[in-house]
Structure 1
Amino acid sequence: MDTITHTLFGLGLYKAVNKEQMSKKEKYALLFTTVGASQIPDIDVISQLWDSAGQYQMWHRGITHSVFLVPVWAFLFFIMNRFIFRIKSFRFFFIALIGVFIHDTSDIFNAWGTGYLEPFSSARLTLGTVSIVDFVIWFIFLLAFIVSKTRSTRKEYTIYRISWIVIALHIVIQSTQGYVLYEQYKNSYDEVALSARFFPWHFSVIGKNDATIDIVHDSVLSEANLVYRLQSSDKANLETLFAKNPEAKTLYQWSPFVVIVNNEERLGIYDPRFYQNGQSFLFEYIEKTQIK
């Protein structure tokens, strides 16, 4: 998910906790814990500062997003609360545990994926059933905020707990529909990937047969629309590309499958899951003038 959504997760977790018996210091510590824990796995973005081997695509959402690291991050917040706020309650450890777990697990549902099982597996787990920027989640939290400010008879934490249930139902419904579409297409293609679109319940289905890649917009409630049919130069030798552009090799390893471009100007690869308006923003290439 995007940074804003993860921040909303942290704030939503904070609001869902009953704070009636908490001191002001404990509330500050709780806010620090929920928002911080909801963001901490993305600390891997700093690896861009020393990435000289083109590995950032694998490092981002890699080991820092591992489910096995969740208790480590939670314990870090327990220690920070102890030294910063002088709070020793293990309750904050479990709250941080929930925050980090939500971050890592929610990232599985979008097309970018995550190294959820690292270091025991380098595979990127991705369902592609929820958009990276999911406006439905934003709307649910906005609605919870409005209700909490206008319905004084309802406890704030109760309203936000209900909002979490609604978000979970949204993800289940969205993912179930994605699974149904995946099952419909998997027998028609050698390889299939999903990418949720911004509009709820609508998906891009990316299917590959030999060197042909189809991008189909579909949903369980509408007819399929073949938007793009791409041709991949699968017989092209990519060794020079990988040698001169290490990011291309990383993208090749990271993506479920790629489209290979080999024309008079360029040799490159791109991830078709992020293909829009004639291009993919995950495109690594070299100019043919670089090949000698």
Structure 2
Amino acid sequence: MDTITHTLFGLSLYGSVDKEKMDRRTKMAYLFTTVGASQIPDIDVISQTWDTEGLYQMWHRGVTHSIFLTPLWALLFYLLCLVFFKVKDRRLFFLGWLAAVIHVTSDLFNAWGTGYLEPFSQMRITFGTIPIIDFVFWVIIGSAYFISKKKPIANRPFYFRAAWLIIALHIALQSLQGYYFYQKYTHDYEQVALSAGFIPTTFQVITKQEGTVTIYEDGIFQSKQTLYSLESQEDADLDYLFSKNPAAKTLQQWSPFVVIVEDDQQIGVYDPRFYRNGQSFLFESIEH
């Protein structure tokens, strides 16, 4: 998910906590923990500053997004609260753990995916059933905020907890639809990947059969539509490409499958899940 959504997740966790009997310093510790732990897995973005081998595509959302690292993130914020706020409350550890788990788990559902099981598995897990920016989340959390502001302080956590239930229901419904479309296309193509549209219930279904990649738009309330048909040059010399541009090899490892481009000017690979208006923003190449 995007940074704004992760921040909203942290704020809605904070909103779901009963703070009626808390002092100001304890409230600050809770806010710091929920928002901070909701953001901390994305600290891996700094790795691009020292990446000289084209590995950033695997590092980003890699080990920092591992489910096995989440209790360490929680411990970090628990200790920071002791140091900066002088607050010792074991609930902060569990709240920080929950915030980190929500971050790394929610990222599984969009097309970018995560290294959820690192370091025990390098597999990139992605479901593609929720867009990277899902405005439905924003509306749900925003509604909980505005409704709760009109209620007594003691009743406000109820509305944020209800928002979390609605968010879970939204993810479940989207994922069931995604599973249906994935199975629908799997029977006819060698490889299939999903990328959820910004409008709920709509999906881009990316398929590959031999050297042809076809991108469809499909949904519960719309008919199937062919968006793009792309030819992949499967006979291209990728070893040469990888030797000159290691990031291309990383991209091939990271993506479910790639489109290979080779012409008189260049040779390269790109991820078709991010193909829009004649190009993919995940494209690595070299000039001939």
Q: For 1:61 and 1:97, locate their aligned partners in 2 and report how far apart those are by CA, in whole Å.
A: 17
Cα distance in structure 1, aligned partners of 2:149 and 2:264? 61
Contact 1:140–1:163 (Cα < 8 Å) also in 2: yes
Letter in 2 for 1:41: P
SS at match of 1:284: strand
Residues 135 and 198 in structure 2, CA contact (< 8 A), matched pair in contact too: yes
Gaps of 5+ in 1: none
For 2:216, what is the secondary structure of its paired residue? strand
Q: Secondary structure at the match of 1:173?
A: helix
Letter in 1 for 2:265: E
1:84 corresponds to: 84
The answer for the alignment partner of 1:249 in structure 2 is 249
Distance 2:122 2:23 in 1: 44
The aligned residue for residue 107 of structure 2 is 107
Q: Is the Cα–Cα contact under 8 Å of residues 259 and 271 in structure 1 kept in the other structure?
A: yes
In 2, the alpha carbon distance for the partners of 1:246 and 1:124 equals 18
- Deviations for 1:203-246, whole angstroms, at most 9, x for unmatched residues? 00001000001100001222100110100001101112111111
Aligned residues: 288
Say whether 1:38 aligns with 2:38. yes
Aligned to 2:277: 277
Matches within 5 A, 1:58-97: 58-97=58-97
Letter matched to residue 20 of structure 1 = E
Shift of 1:256: 0.4
After superposition, give the CA deviation of every residue in 1:22-72 in whole Å (9 maximum; x if it has no partner): 110000000000000000000000101110011000000000000000111
Please give the alpha-carbon distance, in whole angstroms, between the structure 2 residues aligned to 1:202 and 1:157: 32
Whole-angstrom distance in 1 between the partners of 2:108 and 2:52: 27
Question: Which ranges of structure 2 fall in alignment gaps of 5 or more residues?
Answer: none
Cα distance in 1 for partners of 2:225, 2:250 equals 31
Superposed CA offset, 1:118-162 (max 9, x none): 000000010000000000001111111111123449811111110
TM-score (structure 2 length as normaliser): 0.98
Residue in 1 that maps onto 2:162:
162
Structure 1 contact 148–154 (Cα < 8 Å) conserved: no
Contact kept in structure 2, 1:181 and 1:220, CA below 8 Å: no
Aligned pairs for 1:86-235 within 5 A: 86-152=86-152, 155-235=155-235
What's the RMSD between the two structures over aligned residues?
A: 1.0
TM-score normalised per structure 1 = 0.97
- Give, as a single letter, the amino acid of the residue that structure 1 aligns with 2:241: L
Q: Which amino acid is 2:159 matched to?
A: I
Identity of aligned residues (%): 56
